Structure 1
Amino acid sequence: MHILAKTTGAKVRASLSSATGLRRRNRMRKRRRAGFSLIEALVVLAISSVALVVIFSIGRSATDSGFRLGRAALAAADSEVALTDARTVMSSFLLIPKAVLRDPETQAINGSSISLEGEAVMMRSSACAPRGWRGRVRLAIESSRGQTRLMCQAGDARPVRLMVLPQQSGFIYSEDGVAWQNAWTNAPGPGAIGTPVPPLASEALYVGLLDPSGRGIVSALSTGLPQGWYVPNDQL
């Protein structure tokens, strides 16, 4: 009986010892699962680095795209302003009929394929000159440093660049909008003195500034009605 008790006690102690060891091993396994191994930590760092690189590259691309769109918008706005200024100057020349042209040197319009000059009253302010009468105004196409530029000079002021033009751009002129030529003037020619004065009639002039493909600006000048060309002596 005594021997059976000893045997039973030994078995109980062995079972308790086995259970205790099992619990310890389970706790150790749980502790191991609660952390990361060195390899797992390196893998996580590598994935995080790749994710950060992707995020920053997307942000940089979006920023660059925003800057490109902003620059394109500013360039388009500048181009539109330049076109408006050029159109304003071209429409501001005074077309005086030959019948009442008294001072051709200051009043006549002289146009060639690379320049346009005449007396002008600016309809609005532009990069070339403020609004109002400006005296003689000259538009000229000049090439410099690989660029073709439209320059404007009002009176004795310094020439101002209005816009950059495509190469081989030039002025053309027409009195009816159908037949075009590369030069035009309303100044009297040699031997015109003493010839009969032409009848009072309205005149028109179309001025184009076109590139080789035919695209560009076309402005219309008009003398207006004859009754506005002179002032009776009793009103002076």
Structure 2
Amino acid sequence: MNCVLTGAVAMIATATAAHAAALNFTTPGFRGVNPNAEYAGFESFTVPFGGPNFPDDPTSNGLPATLTQNTMPDFSMPPGILISGDGNMYSGFQSLDLTLADIAASPIRTVILQVRTLGTELFYGGVGLSYVDGNGATQTLTPDVSRQLSRVSGPPIMGFPTDNVEWRFKWDLSGLADDVSAYEIGMTHFAPHLSLDRIELDTLSIPAPASVVLLGVAMAGPLRRRR
């Protein structure tokens, strides 16, 4: 049993090592520049089930963001779900059920999610952003943008085709009637042998009312002086 588990993880590592160093994510122009922008980067995961994984990229400032894997690992047919030696979250013959949760101090206008997987792929059509509206009902939004950033084909693992894929999702929340400051993004997959390698989450919020007032005061001064 342990031999099967070790062999599968070793094959994933070998099949994906060459591509793992290349990162083709695109950095949003507001990251690190706009004071209402938050970023959370996940590179090494620590909890394979139930508990939250926290951003470990030292440049992260979106600290409320957490990633939770909800499928209970089943090792009766190994490999189950585990954290590999390089910090990836690996699924054998089960499907990862991932929830990325985030909360902001003010209503969010833009959400950008970038994910890198190794081995098999996410179910991209099932990725959705959920929030609770003003009536207490849960609303789920499909991405406004869902596109591939890169793809490198790897050798089959236990007969299953593999691809090392980087994908980008974007939601524009500016046109919603509701103010969204707390939300979750759900992700899953169906084929065995997926390794979750990296996640980057960027959000841009609407300035809080106090910030808008201060900005207005700052702009009014020069206007008065021109009169």
> Is the pair's TM-score, using the shorter chain for normalization, greater than 0.5?
no
The TM-score with structure 1 as length reference comes to: 0.21
The structure with more strand, counted as a fraction of residues = 2
The TM-score with structure 2 as length reference comes to 0.22
* Structure 1 or 2: more helix by fraction: 1
Report 1 or 2 for greater relative contact order, CA contacts < 8 Å, sequence distance ≥ 6.
2
Report which of the two structures shows the higher radius of gyration computed on alpha carbons.
1
